[in-house]
Amino acid sequence: MPSPVSELIELLSLERLEDNLFRGQSRDIGTKYVFGGQVLGQALSAAQATMPEPRAAHSLHAYFLRAGDIEHPIVYDVDRTRDGGSFSVRRVTAIQHGKVIFFCAASFQEAERGVEHQPPMPQVPDPDDIAPADPIPPEVLATLPTKVQRWLDRAGPFEFRHVHPRNDLRPAKQPPFNQVWFRLGERVGDGPELHRALLAYASDFHLLGTTTFPHGISYYQPDVQMASLDHGLWFHRPFRADEWLLYAIDSPSAQGARGLARGQVFSRDGRLVASTVQEGMIRVVDDARVAGTVPAKD
């Protein structure tokens, strides 16, 4: 059986149908619908495949329009919007069953020198000093809704260690701040394009979930609906997704059935390597039976 990491690498390795047309497979990771990070990573992989070296992605801005079907592949249509003297732009449209489910714009730049500054990395325990989370006992897992069992009873390609663990099965109200160490579970190749696609995939974890912290709710509750609406990602400095990275997240606002979250990704030595922003839908519904009708989020 292939490992979760090798399955993810395969997932991000798209089939080229034409010069600007690609096809990616879908995976069921327990979320009922296609995981948003999968579409982000595949869309970036498609855009990168049309880019001449040495230009590297520095930003991506995306909108999730429809839930993806995990039983069918997704076609990615890349528009080579602009190739300038130093920057290039690609617009990627994801299509499934003849409908657009997602689109994004990605910008690329040739390496240049310039002024630099960044905030300090938060002072947190080293990942080696944080014990991995204990698995949920089978007898407890069996009492949870099916959608929660499918999400929790799986071995993913990334390892996460929470600086301040939260019990999402019985969430208490707390400030909207979240700090999580993460890394790919196995060592992979050195290609920076692969590591950017892997980070795009992982960046969809934990963002929207942080917006629920002040309200004592979580996706695991049967009356809660959550789904990503958009996603912004900026790459600042080189990194490896198979080395520990700190995801420092905060949520400045929730309103109108939407929540906003911001993230900063630091390397273990304190360099700010990426930033993220995401807004998502958050609804607490009267009828718990309808809560599973929208895409699941972390």
**Catalytically annotated residue among 38, 228, 251, 267:** 228
Q: Is 278 part of the annotated catalytic residue set?
A: yes
Q: Which residue has the tokens 């689109």?
A: 103
Q: Which residue has the tokens 């509750």?
A: 221
- With the C-alpha atoms ordered 51, 241, 212, 148, is the resulting torsion angle positive or negative? positive
Cα 188 from Cα 280, distance rounded (Å): 31
Which of 219, 74, 67 shows the shortest CA–CA distance to 147? Answer: 219
Query: Which two tokens mark 19?
Result: 């010069």
CB-CB contact of 162 with 210 (8 Å): no
Cα 11 from Cα 127, distance rounded (Å): 27
**Catalytically annotated residue among 96, 179, 278, 298:** 278
Q: What angle do CA 53, 54, 55 make, to 5 degrees?
A: 95
**Catalytically annotated residue among 204, 221, 225, 251:** 204
Q: Is 230 part of the annotated catalytic residue set?
A: no
CB-CB contact of 130 with 163 (8 Å): yes
Query: What is the C-alpha R_g of the chain?
Result: 19
Torsion angle of the four alpha carbons 210, 148, 181, 172, in this order, in degrees rounded to the nearest 10: 40
Cα 130 from Cα 104, distance rounded (Å): 36
Cα 131 from Cα 158, distance rounded (Å): 15
Q: Is 42 part of the annotated catalytic residue set?
A: no
Alpha helices in 115-242 (DSSP H): 138-141, 146-152, 192-202, 207-210
The residues carrying an active-site annotation are 204, 228, 278
